[in-house]
Amino acid sequence: MGFMHHVAACNDHDASGFIPFAIENQPVGRVRPAFAGLLRSWPEIFSVTGQAVALNCRGSGLQERSALVAGVLEQLIAQGVLGQFHGERYAAVAEGGREPLLLIDRAMAPCFGIRAYGQHVNGFVRTGAGLKMWIGRRADDRRHFPGRLDNLAAGGLPYGLSLVENLAKECWEEAGIPAQLAHQATPVGAVTYHMDTETGFKPDTLFCYDLELPEEFVPRCMDGEVQSFYLWPVEQVMELVKHSSEFKLNCNLVIIDFLIRHGYIGPEDEEYLALLEALHPPMPPLPRHFL
């Protein structure tokens, strides 16, 4: 199977299957023509042509236009066309821009192809027997990737929380890591991918963190997202990533980046340079609201 298989799976998309979505004449996402067709029912909110979708937002502020779009989505949910809201909102930002132009429930962000940002924590322990990683197994009742393996802590960056706040929140909720320990997590880079999902186009940028944990620390899930945790030798984690689909799709990329930075995947690997390139495709600037 190999490492590149996962990077390719996360980047499996056909750009020609989408049309641009624009706000204030700036491209902020991509929409499936079929979904664009549904939006024609609200001509006062969306201008839909065969070539593009634009939000009609002359004079409307961020909160007002976000409420209008949420109203449309609620009607589509009521019609059974869309699934449920997640409850957290993502901000749509123009390509290359840093200011929020629209807030939208994160479950609906792929409908408009809006970029998501997340934070993933590699939790590891230096033991006498070598480096070990804490790995979680997602609860069986999760909407996404039930029962699959996951990073120790990981989550999307919702609008309204900074990088520092959200990291502490995710560390506590998913793994019971107290804030004092969470603040020791070191930012070590980021990976980006662009994926076709059932809901739509999902461009995703994940900030990666390494968190070295004391041997006596044992994670405990606070919010029901994880059913169990394992402390595995990094070699075992590497084999699982390389030869299985046990991990939630994007967690593979975060672990591959970890394995490269810690020398477990070395330049003698045929895919080494190709992996480095593929994990770091063109990336957006970080929106200001995360600072």
Q: Which residues bind its own copies (CB under 8 A)?
A: 163, 186-190, 192, 205, 207, 260-263, 266-268, 270, 272-274, 276-277, 279-286, 290-291
Strand, helix or coil at 125? Answer: strand
128: left (phi over 0), alpha (psi -120 to 50) or beta: alpha
- The residue among 24 and 271 lying less far from its own copies, judged by its C-beta, is 271
Angle of CA points 64, 58, 65, to nearest 5°: 20
Q: How far is the CB of 151 from its own copies (least distance, A)?
A: 17
- The residue among 40 and 126 lying less far from its own copies, judged by its C-beta, is 126
Spatial distance between the Cα atoms of 260 and 226, rounded to a whole number of angstroms:
26
Helix axes 249-261, 234-243, angle to 10 degrees: 130
Q: How far is the CB of 171 from its own copies (least distance, A)?
A: 16
- The residue among 80 and 263 lying less far from its own copies, judged by its C-beta, is 263
| HSE toward the beta carbon, residue 40, CA cutoff 13 A | 11
Angle of CA points 128, 132, 134, to nearest 5°: 140
Q: How far is the CB of 260 from its own copies (least distance, A)?
A: 6
Q: How far is the CB of 104 from its own copies (least distance, A)?
A: 22
- The residue among 98 and 242 lying less far from its own copies, judged by its C-beta, is 98
- The residue among 222 and 283 lying less far from its own copies, judged by its C-beta, is 283
Spatial distance between the Cα atoms of 115 and 93, rounded to a whole number of angstroms:
8
Which residues neighbour 226 within 8 Å (Cβ) at sequence distance 6 or greater? Answer: 136, 137, 138, 139, 150, 174, 175, 219
Spatial distance between the Cα atoms of 183 and 60, rounded to a whole number of angstroms:
39
Q: How far is the CB of 257 from its own copies (least distance, A)?
A: 9
Q: How far is the CB of 172 from its own copies (least distance, A)?
A: 20
- The residue among 66 and 252 lying less far from its own copies, judged by its C-beta, is 252
The answer to whether 52 and 21 have CB atoms below 8 angstroms apart is yes
